[in-house]
Amino acid sequence: MGRPGFGGNNVEVNADEMTVSIDGEVTKVDACNVIPAMKAGRICDMAGITEGNWAPVIPHTMQSRVDENIHVLGDASNQGDMPKSGFAANSQAKVAAMAVRSALTGSKLFPAKFTNTCWSLIDEGDGVKVGASYEATDEKIAKVDGSSARSARMPNCARPRLRKAWAGTKVSLRTCLAEADSRRDHRGPVAPIQGSEKMRKFMMAAAVAALTTPAFADSHGAGQATTYDFDGSFDDATFAVESAIVGAGLVIDYVSHTGEMLNRTGADVGSEVKIFEAADIFLFCSAVLSRKVMEADPMNLAHCPYGIFVAEREGKVMIGYRNYPEGEMQEVQALLDQLAREAAEN
């Protein structure tokens, strides 16, 4: 069949006759994918917040530029440089939630940060991903300078599921990739508190302990940390760590912005020492390994969640993790080492 021209003001599809009419020109087809004109949902039109096909937003908060009592995210919003992906929408949701929390409670409004990661299947048993970091400007959500789209091959954990997905089974990549990508975007600002205040404090204490335990030696002794130098910026390192964790099919539970906290509270505790230019800790668990080590010894609960940190100190960026004691916890340490190495070499 000949391919109709793109566009057209009036498009009609007759499935019974297998014809497509574009501005009155009827074409017989064997197969046809019809994609309607893209625009924000009708609810945005009803609310009167669209300009053209999309709803313009204030990038720092994802508030509508027309009505600041409304927050718009995802495909409906005019996103600037960000693509219209599920990961992008999830990242924007964190910014919107932070803005709502700030408006309701008077809490600090942190600078908005965005990331996007997209996976594409390119062959049976293979795929690639691209991603970038973004920031809020007064005009739009803009790609961070030097944050060109990065690519990575499909992690090994995904390949068996990918083969089954291509074979038409019900098993898909969701467990290993899509669910983790869409549910977690932890490069953004502090997300709203989930669960009890006690749990939040516990997570923060665990994060601080993971980073401040005797530290920056390449030592494998229990109670110390193993670190790898990163040849790049702090933001690139956090992106690499997040990508490594998510790419392994793991879900990030929490990101502690420990460096920001230390810098913000130094004067309050009477200290002028700047420990880190920046430091984040990514906390997560592995259902498989956690069950294995806790069945061996339930008190291994004390080591969960596991953490990988990124820190910038005296102009040098490093990626690392706290070492664990000998025994079954060494299997967890092997996982952390694998992820940290992958991120450092990215």
Give the C-alpha separation, 78 to 164, whole Å: 37
Q: What's the pLDDT score for residue 8?
A: 60
DSSP letter at 70 equals -
DSSP letter at 54 equals B
* pLDDT, tens digit, 9 for 90 and up, residues 318-332: 999 999 999 999 999
* Displacement of CA 28 from its chain's centroid (Å): 44
* pLDDT, tens digit, 9 for 90 and up, residues 275-292: 999 999 999 999 899 999
Total Cβ atoms within 10 A of residue 144: 18
DSSP 122-183: EETTEEEEEEEEEEE-SSSEEEPTT-PPEEEEPPGGGHHHHHHHHTT-S--TIIIIIHHHHH
Q: Confidence band (pLDDT; 50, 70, 90) for 346? A: low
Q: What's the pLDDT score for residue 210?
A: 41
User: Quick one: tokens of 271?
Assistant: 């200290």
Among residues of the chain, what percentage have pLDDT more than 90? 44
Q: Which long-range contacts (CB under 8 A, 24 or more apart) does 151-154 make?
A: 152/128, 152/243, 152/247, 152/346, 153/126, 153/127, 153/128, 154/119, 154/126, 154/127, 154/128, 154/129
Span(s) in the chain for CATH 3.30.310.70: 197-344
pTM of the model: 0.47
Q: What is the mean pLDDT of residues 184-208?
A: 40
* pLDDT, tens digit, 9 for 90 and up, residues 8-67: 667 888 989 999 888 888 989 998 887 777 899 999 999 999 999 999 999 999 999 999
State which H helix or E strand residue 201 sits in.
helix 197-212
State which H helix or E strand residue 317 sits in.
strand 316-322
CATH superfamily name and code, 197-344: TT1751-like domain (3.30.310.70)
Q: What's the pLDDT score for residue 124?
A: 65
Give the alpha-carbon dihedral of 263, 283, 335, 234, to 10 degrees: -30
- 3-state SS class at 343: helix
Give the C-alpha separation, 98 to 257, whole Å: 15
* pLDDT, tens digit, 9 for 90 and up, residues 225-248: 999 999 888 988 898 898 888 878
Give the C-alpha separation, 278 to 255, whole Å: 13
Q: What's the pLDDT score for residue 116?
A: 84
Residues shown for the chain: 346
Q: Is the dihedral of CA 182, 185, 188, 189 positive or negative?
A: positive
For the chain, the average pLDDT equals 78
What is the DSSP pairing of strand 225-230 with strand 316-322?
Answer: antiparallel
